[in-house]
Structure 1
């Protein structure tokens, strides 16, 4: 199941309390992002190995920027980022976000 995060505080708390988590930066106006979001939803419903979260870039610009700046990951949308031990260990954007890639990233980083 996907959970929406809206603030820097929410994200930082999740990051410090979870061993692993994955976040999707989603644009509510982009068709490519919509396709990635559907793949992400499918991944989250099939895999319980890692908690899945998302943010809507238009609603949470400061959070999106915080993630990009704190972890020095160039912002893209859509963008999936897998965190392990409070550090990003994998990320993908646009058409590279699909169920298989998400599952593989989680398996490699278990």
Structure 2
């Protein structure tokens, strides 16, 4: 799994455009939270076998870039949670899951 760093609110417009040609995942991670670390580890372990090669994954360090997280919530009309995984497709959030409820099978359905 090759994460792409999400560090600025300006990248959200690029992500919306990218999502028109391929699904995009945004993973919001709190580096000080053990549940978030567990969710990230699960994602990284399960990703290779989940058949998500067409999905571009972005990683947001929530503690370093909290304003970007706030902008994600506003741009995609989702409540802020951490950890949180969003699937952006056709410029809109099609799925969001949080904590240990993040489900790669749901992501795979949207990626097909």
TM-score using structure 1 length: 0.87
Q: RMSD of aligned C-alpha atoms?
A: 1.4
Residue 53, structure 1, aligned to residue 54, structure 2: no
Aligned length: 106
TM-score using structure 2 length: 0.85
The SS at the match of 2:81 is coil
CA-to-partner distance for each residue in 1:30-59, whole Å, 9 max, x for gaps?
Answer: 000000111222244443120111101111
**Superposed, which structure 2 residues align to 1:1-110 within 5 Å?**
1-18=2-19, 19=21, 20-46=23-49, 47-97=52-102, 101-102=103-104, 104-109=105-110, 110=112
Change (3 A) 1:44 1:15: farther
Question: 5+ residue gaps in structure 1?
Answer: none
Which structure: greater helix fraction? 1
